[in-house]
Amino acid sequence: MAKERLYLDYNATAPLLDEARAAMLDAMELPGNPSSVHEEGRRARAVIGRAREAVGRLCQVPSAQVTFSSGATEAANHLLTPDYRMGRAALRISRLFVSAVEHPAILSGGRFSPDQVTVLPVDAEGRLDLLALEQAFAGHDASSGQAMLALQLANNETGVIQPVRAAADIVKTHHGLMVVDAVQGAGRLDLSLEGLGADFLILSAHKMGGPKGIGALVSAGETLMPASLLRGGGQEKGHRGGTENLIGIAGFGAATEVAAAALAGITATGALRDRLEAGLRDLAPDVIIHGAGADRLANTSFFSLPGLKAETAQIAFDMEGMAVSAGSACSSGKIGLSHVLAAMGADADLGAIRVSLGRGHTTDDVARFLAAFGTINARRIARRANQAAA
């Protein structure tokens, strides 16, 4: 009998939670359009309202400051624009700063032109260089418009947690705006928008066990907002046109409630990750664990083995019945050089394997992974010995 597959790729997408599935099935039974004034429409609208409140609680803001989108990429493109409004007054953003290790949805610059985007360096652990940030904002010509920083809360590949609050203090000193990609933080880190010092957060449901294709941007208030990306019938207070994805939003809301409660168990997840990395070092003393010297997400390990390509290792793990990643899973299945490793000064040609744990993983799962790793590593050692002898 074939062994059940072991899924270790929660940073790519978390399996759909039972709670989210139940909420989605219930929403499927509602015939009304959320914008309709009759009872059926009001029932549908109430589902969206409850989900909006759940997301607001997660980020510790009023529900009115939550705008639903089709996912984090849409939210990023909505927020990364030169055109904002402060109430009725136009506000111009003339420069976007991003770190070199951002997700491609942020690195692409959204609606800014390429010549308006500046990439800031990171250190060897993948953390934003705060001195470079200070110099960048101090040197910005405010007469052309304000500056914006878009920074991830935690890296999707390494799990390294960025110094978001310190960066926000620098940005605010220079009267800039700050967008935080909090996609990897839900259920793993405190997402208080005020505590982070951000003007906006970006969230994605499927990273926290909700459905794919639904996300949100969360704002620090209702006065400052970007120009609409999708214009239409005035849904989402005119910020995002189009009939709301009722089923996806219902699942998002349910997953958000689970994510808010999941923080209590994050220490146990960290202990599993530490056990896994101790096993990696025992089996392969030359293993390189990227970002190990920085604060990281408790569920994430990103490692390289000298002499073994990441894509080769990924295929080997897959054949052993395990789903791991060779970096980000957001390139239509393509495996290419990791811009994150390159920015950290690591060997991007070699690549790295990402293991990301989640709800329900056990010490037995870690032991099973390490057994497969031992087999793969033994083949690597034998191959290198044969090459040396040739």
Return d(Cα 62, Cα 48) in angstroms, integer.
14
59 catalytic residue (yes or no): no
Return d(Cα 187, Cα 153) in angstroms, integer.
13
- Do the Cβ atoms of 57 and 260 come closer than 8 Å? yes
Q: Which two tokens stand for residue 306?
A: 């000298």
Q: Which residues pair with 216 in a beta bridge?
A: 68, 203
Nearest to 49 by CA among 30, 64, 61: 64
Instruction: For residue 297, give Cα distances in angstroms to 34, 162, 212, 277.
Output: 37, 10, 22, 14
Contacts of 364 (CB under 8 A, 6+ apart): none
The residue from 130, 330, 335, 372 that is catalytic is 330
Q: Which two tokens stand for residue 102?
A: 């951002």
Return d(Cα 118, Cα 146) in angstroms, integer.
14
Kindly state the DSSP code that residue 264 receives in the 8-state scheme.
G
- Do the Cβ atoms of 203 and 183 come closer than 8 Å? yes
Which positions are catalytic? 330
